[in-house]
Amino acid sequence: MASIPSINLASSTAPNWLQEAQESLIASASAGGMIGALQNAKNPGSLKSFLNKSLNNAMGFALISQGTLEASISLAGQMGAQALQKRIAERTEAAQEQSRPPKNWTPPQGLDSTIYFGDGSSLDTTRDILTLSDGTQIDTKTGNEYVDELSVIRMANGSYLDTQSNILHLADGTKIDTITHLVIA
């Protein structure tokens, strides 16, 4: 008893529906797969037909395996990209969490602009000048006596005149009081 093969009609949305319909009719006319190969084994010269069908089947399985491999590689790539995005998001969130100040945190207030000591001296923390009780000012960065640059007249030989204290500082380190003309030790 002969069976009627099912005919897969082509869809009208395919790019070339006429060709698809013709291929479907040709495929339905001949029995395929292992059953078709075994049905052709009854006919004379069937060894050649069997081998051809087996080759076609092997190529079909290879095509299926190749498609499966490509799909699994694509899936692995997608999963890797998603894992990378997740790690980037987690690390970004952790970095932002660390950069936020604690909730009960009080920022440091720094030093007062002027600190007064018990011996009468004071420290100006904004200008870094220590003023001793006798009025002498010392630059805390260099340790040298502080001279306000606005009250200094510089001379070509390296000497300078401090107009605030009226003291002439010679290049060799000698100090002369310009009022009394006495050398200051």
Separation CA 130–CA 124 (nearest Å): 6
Identify whether residues 160 and 177 lie together within a single domain.
yes
Identify whether residues 166 and 132 lie together within a single domain.
no
104 assigned to some structural domain: no
Identify whether residues 139 and 162 lie together within a single domain.
no
Identify whether residues 167 and 142 lie together within a single domain.
no
Q: How many residues does the chain have?
A: 185
- Mean pLDDT in runs of 10 for the chain (185 residues)? 49 62 65 59 66 81 81 88 94 85 74 90 92 90 85 90 90 92 88
Identify whether residues 27 and 75 lie together within a single domain.
yes
107 assigned to some structural domain: no
105 assigned to some structural domain: no
pLDDT at residue 46, rounded to an integer: 67
7 assigned to some structural domain: no
According to DSSP, the residues that pair with 114 across neighbouring strands are: 124
Range(s) of the domain holding residue 117 = 112-146
Neighbours of 53 (CB within 10 A): 23
Identify whether residues 89 and 22 lie together within a single domain.
yes
pLDDT tens-place string over residues 114-124: 999 999 999 99
Model pTM? Answer: 0.35
pLDDT at residue 58, rounded to an integer: 83
Identify whether residues 154 and 121 lie together within a single domain.
no
Q: Name the CA radius of gyration of the chain, rounded.
A: 50
142 assigned to some structural domain: yes
- Single-letter amino acid code for the residue at 69: L
Identify whether residues 86 and 25 lie together within a single domain.
yes
Total domain count, the chain: 3
Q: Report residue 63 as tokens.
A: 């095509």
5 assigned to some structural domain: no
6 assigned to some structural domain: no
81 assigned to some structural domain: yes
Separation CA 141–CA 126 (nearest Å): 12
Identify whether residues 153 and 142 lie together within a single domain.
no
